[in-house]
Amino acid sequence: MSAEQLNAFLRTVAADVSLQEQLRSSDAIAAAAVAVRAGFDVTVADLTRYKARATTWQLSDDELAVVAAWQPNHQTYWWQCIWDC
């Protein structure tokens, strides 16, 4: 994957309400599948890395430790509300 592929996918989703709806109910595996079906080379790891890069600058060391422990089941994925929150 390249950052260009993920950025292109996110730009496409920003302009497509149908894709936004699909992502709102998608976990990481399903979100990557949505991207692939839309023609983009995006993986679960790409989505996770993007989240880490996009949020780490605003997190304390304690919060970073929580991120490193992975995504809690009760927490929504970042792409589920990015266009709606």
| pLDDT score for 77 | 72
Asked whether the beta carbons of 38 and 12 are under 8 A apart, the reply is yes
Q: Which residue has the higher pLDDT, 83 or 34?
A: 34
pLDDT digits (tens, 9 = 90+) for 17-63: 999 999 998 988 899 999 999 999 999 888 888 877 766 666 677 77
In angstroms, the CA 28 to CA 19 distance is: 14
pLDDT recorded at residue 15: 94
